């Protein structure tokens, strides 16, 4: 059985207390690897390594840092197939998705920031003959990067890459639910050319390792992606220490379908935006609002296409939905499905666990589920379920749908389907969301700001936003006359 190790000061090592946790594959429910159950002692060891490495790394030329990041990108690409299979086994997602989306995106993240840093510049503000201001953007020191389980290597690398590109050292913690690809990547770090101690990867639980990172006085900057409640707990610790914080949190995204939409595209993309990665993407649209005139027609097509989706072995290329990430998460999602009818809803598709056969019998499989007839403000329509469950709700006017769409505590993303340009602009402006897609979904340009409003987070990732976050601006004012 594979034993995962921490990467500290360039070495793969066991946790100091030599305690390990079980790692299960959602595909079969079986334990297939061991994860370090690290704690604050391991974090302290990594911090001392990172402290020593910081003067070296932050003084490397931009070209040298860029070269090392792009080499890591290349190494991930060289190992794409093995990493995709590992991601699928660890997370339950179809291997086809991991090899088309997750791992290629990790490749892009390191390549993007390896090159972005070469184009990153700071400002100057001339006061004519009186003075010149210029702004230095300096690396901060040791960055703590904490990531979730739904897009494991994809989101882990999305934080680490800009932090390193900007000249910081990193203490990173992947989710204990899906640690494998971060571990496999840690085996490539030396070969990429990183000096020891620049990138440290510590495995373990949130309350032990995550919290120790957030509490450590020598880690002044925290980039976190995960649940809203965890984000709030982290803020409580970090705010009085005046740490710089980026929080990418939960969502309950509306998907708004007007009667003038391109019908086929809207239905087909809605199937994807509802159920890709078993609905476990923070950007999935879990509340589908359909304008009255096309409600019945859309409902029929959406339900029919959803029933055609294949729930099955994540390793089978025909599978559309693999397993959800863990047994406890499956039980949580099922509890919302059971609530649907109690709350006056009707389940139009799905609503049940899927029992597969043979070695997959112990896996965590769920039917893609569509519910109608629920009030916009009921629990299912307000809380993040983070699984293959969506509701459909009819609406009459723009005002009606905006009120419902904006009614949750979240504000991550939204999707709008309309051929009316004026309406597209107006609705996009009025939606409480950090990201709005019009007539598409999950079309990403890594240069754009990424993040949410309200309970979906604070700060933005992506493009130069992340490089701004991972650097400290210092203005220098030179008197000229
Ligand atoms: P989670 O909050 O339980 O865990 C996220 C990470 O934080 C894990 O590594 C975990 O070990 C760690 N953690 C847990 N408790 C901690 C603590 N007290 N201190 C420090 N670290 C701690 O989230 P999850 O269940 O892994 O992920 C699902 C959530 O992530 C969903 O809410 C989803 O919407 C959100 N998410 C958001 C985005 C985004 O970009 N906004 C992207 C992906 C996922």
Write out the H or E segment, with its range, that includes residue 145: strand 142-146
**8 Å CB contact between 211 and 141:** no
C-beta of residue 383 within 8 angstroms of C-beta of residue 252 = yes
Contacts of 457 (CB under 8 A, 6+ apart): 231, 246, 247, 248, 249, 412, 434, 451
Q: Which helix (H) or strand (E) holds 126?
A: strand 124-126
- Determine the pLDDT at residue 481: 87
CA nearest ligand 1 atom 12, residue = 206
Q: What one-character-per-residue DSSP string does 386-449 give?
A: -SSEEEEEEE-SHHHHHHHHTTSS--SEEEEE-S-HHHHHHHHHHS--SEEEES-SS---TTS-
- Between the CA of 157 and the centroid of ligand 1 the distance, in Å, is 15
**Mutate which of 206, 207, 245 for ligand 1 pocket (most atoms within 8 A of beta carbon):** 206
Ligand 1 lined by 337 (C-beta under 6 Å): no
The token pair that represents 437 in the structure block: 């897609």
Q: Is the CB of 146 under 6 A from ligand 1?
A: yes
Domain residue limits, the chain = 2-249+455-479, 253-446
Helices (H), 321-407: 327-342, 379-382, 398-405
- Which residues partner with 247 through β-bridges? 224, 458
Question: Which numbered atom of ligand 1 lies nearest the CA of 205?
Answer: 11
Distance 147 CA to ligand 1 centre (A): 6
Q: Which residues pair with 125 in a beta bridge?
A: 133
Tokens of 200: 């440290």
**Catalytic site includes residue 248:** yes
Is the entire prediction scored with pTM above 0.85? yes
If DSSP codes are grouped into helix, strand and coil, which group holds residue 12? strand
Give yes or no: 282 in active site. yes
Cα 227 to ligand 1 centre (Å): 4
The fold of the 253-446 domain, in CATH, is: Aldehyde Dehydrogenase; Chain A, domain 2 (3.40.309)
**Any atom of ligand 1 within 6 Å of the Cβ of 387:** no
CATH of 2-249+455-479, one of 3.40.605.10, 3.30.1490.20, 2.60.120.560, 3.30.70.100: 3.40.605.10
pLDDT tens digits, 303-322: 999 999 999 999 999 999 99
Distance from the alpha carbon of residue 206 to the mean position of ligand 1, in angstroms: 9
Residue of minimum CA distance from atom 33 in ligand 1? 250
For residues 199 and 169, is the Cβ–Cβ distance under 8 A?
A: yes
Determine whether the shortest distance from the Cβ of 223 to ligand 1 is under 6 A: no
Distance 346 CA to ligand 1 centre (A): 31
DSSP 344-388: T-EEEE--SEE---GGGTTS-EE--EEEES--TTSHHHHS---SS
Residue having the nearest C-alpha atom to atom 26 of ligand 1: 148
Counting as low any pLDDT under 70, the low residues of the chain are none
Catalytic residue (one of 87, 176, 248, 372): 248
Which residue is listed with tokens 């112990």? 362
CA 200 – ligand 1 centroid, Å: 19
Please tell me which residue in 145, 282, 284, 461 is annotated as part of the active site: 282
Residue 270 tokens read as 């809605």
- Ligand 1 pocket check: which of 182, 227, 281, 385 to mutate, most ligand atoms within 8 Å of Cβ? 227
């Amino acid at each position: 059985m594979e034993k995962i190790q921490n990467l500290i000061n360039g070495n793969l090592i066991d946790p100091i207390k030599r305690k390990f946790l079980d790692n299960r594959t959602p595909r079969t429910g079986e334990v297939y690897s061991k994860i370090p159950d690290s704690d604050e002692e391991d974090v302290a060891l990594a911090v001392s390594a990172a402290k020593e490495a910081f003067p070296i790394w932050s003084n490397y030329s931009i070209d040298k840092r860029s070269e090392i990041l792009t080499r890591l990108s290349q190494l991930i690409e060289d190992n794409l197939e093995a990493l995709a299979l590992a991601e699928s086994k660890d997370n339950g997602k179809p291997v086809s998705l991991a090899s088309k989306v997750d791992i290629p995106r990790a490749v892009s993240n390191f390549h993007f920031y390896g090159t972005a840093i070469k184009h990153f510049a700071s400002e100057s503000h001339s006061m004519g003959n009186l003075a010149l201001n210029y702004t230095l953007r300096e690396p901060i020191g040791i960055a703590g990067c904490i990531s979730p389980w739904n897009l494991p290597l994809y989101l882990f690398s999305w934080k680490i890459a800009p932090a390193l590109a900007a000249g910081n050292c990193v203490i990173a913690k992947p989710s204990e639910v899906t640690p494998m690809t971060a571990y496999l990547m840690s085996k490539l770090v030396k070969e990429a050319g990183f000096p020891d101690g620049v990138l440290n990867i510590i495995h373990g639980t949130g309350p032990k390792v995550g919290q120790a990172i957030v509490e450590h006085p020598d880690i002044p900057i925290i980039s976190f992606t995960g649940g809203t409640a965890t984000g709030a707990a982290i803020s409580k610790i970090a705010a009085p220490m005046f740490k710089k914080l980026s929080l990418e949190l939960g969502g309950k995204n509306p998907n708004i379908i007007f009667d003038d939409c391109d019908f086929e595209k809207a239905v087909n993309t809605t199937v994807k935006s509802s159920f890709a990665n078993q609905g476990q993407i923070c950007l999935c649209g879990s509340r589908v609002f359909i304008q009255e005139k096309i409600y019945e027609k859309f409902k029929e097509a959406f339900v029919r296409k959803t029933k055609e989706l294949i729930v099955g072995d994540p390793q089978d290329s025909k599978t559309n939905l693999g397993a959800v990430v863990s047994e406890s998460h499956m039980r949580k999602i099922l509890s919302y499905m059971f609530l649907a009818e109690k709350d006056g809803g009707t389940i139009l598709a799905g609503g049940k666990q899927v029992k597969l056969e043979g070695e997959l019998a112990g896996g965590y499989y769920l039917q893609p589920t569509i519910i109608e007839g629920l009030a916009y403000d009921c629990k299912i329509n307000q809380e993040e379920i983070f699984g293959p469950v969506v509701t459909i709700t009819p609406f009459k006017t723009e005002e009606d749908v905006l009120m419902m769409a904006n009614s949750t505590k979240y504000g991550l993303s939204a999707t709008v389907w309309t051929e009316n340009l004026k309406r597209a602009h107006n609705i996009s402006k009025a939606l409480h969301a950090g990201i709005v897609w019009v007539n598409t979904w999950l079309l990403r340009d890594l240069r754009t700001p990424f993040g949410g409003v309200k309970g979906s987070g604070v700060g933005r990732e992506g493009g130069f936003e992340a490089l701004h976050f991972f650097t400290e601006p210092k203005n220098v004012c030179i008197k000229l006359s």
